[in-house]
């Protein structure tokens, strides 16, 4: 009878151990996803602010239409370049987990 009790206790302990590890992994993944979303939001807000500044310069006739379009394209290209590696959520999460 005693060996059966020991086996049951060990199995229950193993189940609790793996459940705890899974809970920690889910929490870590959630934190990584939250960070990803915050970074994307910050980057998007930054680009929007810069576009607004360019529009104000155009409205104030500080720059002409052609310059505005070139600067806008440069800004958007640099934004795409910065977000390039972290564009995919799945790759971002797997990269941060390692």
Question: pLDDT at position 24, please?
Answer: 95
Tally of domains within the chain: 1
* pTM, 2 dp: 0.63
Q: Please give the distance of CA 21 from its chain centroid, rounded to a whole number.
A: 23
Question: pLDDT at position 32, please?
Answer: 84
Domain that holds residue 44: 2-97
Query: What 3-state class would DSSP assign to 13?
Result: helix
Question: pLDDT at position 89, please?
Answer: 66
pLDDT tens-digit readout, 18-56: 999 999 999 988 988 888 888 888 888 999 999 999 999
Q: Are 79 and 39 in contact (CB under 8 A)?
A: no
Question: pLDDT at position 86, please?
Answer: 57
């Amino acid at each position: 009878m005693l060996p059966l009790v020991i086996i049951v206790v060990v199995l229950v302990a193993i189940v609790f151990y793996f459940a705890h590890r899974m809970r920690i992994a889910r929490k870590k993944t959630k934190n990584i996803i939250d960070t990803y979303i915050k970074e994307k939001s910050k980057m998007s807000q930054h680009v929007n602010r810069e576009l607004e500044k360019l529009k104000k310069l155009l409205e104030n006739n500080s720059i002409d239409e052609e310059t505005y379009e070139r600067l806008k394209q440069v800004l958007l290209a640099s934004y795409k370049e910065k977000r390039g590696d972290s564009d995919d959520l799945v790759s971002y999460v797997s990269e941060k987990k390692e």
